Homo-oligomer: A and B are copies of this chain.
């Protein structure tokens, strides 16, 4: 088995190495052939590594003095963290071929800005996107963009669709992923001009396009890949997270309302544990940056060790399954279509 190396921004996230190293220990347990390059404060990283000797044996610590702050603006982060921060150097390791993927639980805007500067976009892709894994009633779907770009052109949406399809195919093993465009109605007349034009282009493409999807169609799992812009996608994602938490709170209140409901809760405890596991946002943690010349995964900043491990798993899968190659191929196939559309006179 070939050796996969993952570069880790070990200081990123709300809890730093306490969570990232504990997460890596789980990943390494499940995948002992994976190696790690850990970027950040060596003393703090080593203190955590001591607790996990097997992981320590598969890791190299690269000390970095500078940390990107969680609330720094992307421009600030670039100014202070260029070349010297753990985040920058973890991404640089991918660029230099020292690692096959990079994972960070740090500042999303900074991570995207540095990734763009260091890795650049793949040929034929105008803008990278952030794809999330969305738990649905049927299983899991990919939703993109959830925060890299505000708005988008028809051509960019088509590129997002191709990237999302490649992600679903390589990481989730879905042969011909079904693609939908997020819209406010399933009728042709609704939506912005860019959304409608993108839908037309997608129906002519070789991608498996199923038309428009409304907000409630995401959780229903109507398609494998949902395409939207980063403003709408981020608000949909946060709204869903908020609603799930709200329902959990309603449930808690309902179950503690009387003696009978409390007794019922005790009997049904295993059921509630199963429910909590399915409602747990950490179980599907890992925002994939798509469209760059390298695999970069953003873990949720407030995640726990399990969540961080899930994000690292996603990075390993993408690297091992050559997701970038799959994206290149798909972009090549739709390029002619996009060229024709750009050359066509406006009506």
Contact = CB atoms under 8 A, between A and B. Distances in A.
A182 B235 contact: yes
Contact of A192 (B231, B234, B241, B245): B231
Secondary structure dominating the interface of A = helix
Interface stretch (A16-24, A48-56, A117-125, A255-263): A255-263
A217 interface: yes
A278 B252 CA distance: 12
Interface in A239-274: 239-251, 254-255, 257-258, 260-261, 263-272, 274
B214 A235 contact: yes
Nearest to A268: B264
Nearest to A135: B246
A204 interface: no
Interface in A256-296: 257-258, 260-261, 263-272, 274-275, 278-279
Contacts of A242: 215-220, 240
A214 B235 CA distance: 7
Nearest to A261: B271
Nearest to A74: B189
Specify how many copies of this chain sit in the oligomer.
2
A245 B248 CA distance: 13
Given A137-B246, A137-B249, A244-B243, A258 B271 contact: yes
Given A191-B150, A230-B184, A239-B215, A275 B254 contact: yes
Nearest to A238: B215
Contacts of A239: 215-216, 218-219, 236, 239-240, 243
A55 B320 CA distance: 69
A31 B231 CA distance: 44
A330 interface: no
B267 A260 contact: yes
Contacts of A63: none
A287 B258 CA distance: 35
A216 B245 contact: yes
A136 interface: yes
Contacts of A254: 268, 271-272, 274-275, 278
- Could you say which of A236, A242, A278 has the most chain B C-beta atoms within 10 Å of its C-beta? A242
Leading 7 A-B pairs by shortest Cβ distance: A264-B268, A215-B238, A216-B242, A264-B267, A261-B271, A215-B239, A254-B271
Interface of A: 71, 73, 136-137, 147, 150-151, 182, 184, 187, 189, 191-192, 214-220, 228, 230-232, 234-251, 254-255, 257-258, 260-261, 263-272, 274-275, 278-279
7 contacts: A214-B238, A220-B242, A239-B243, A243-B243, A243-B244, A260-B269, A267-B267
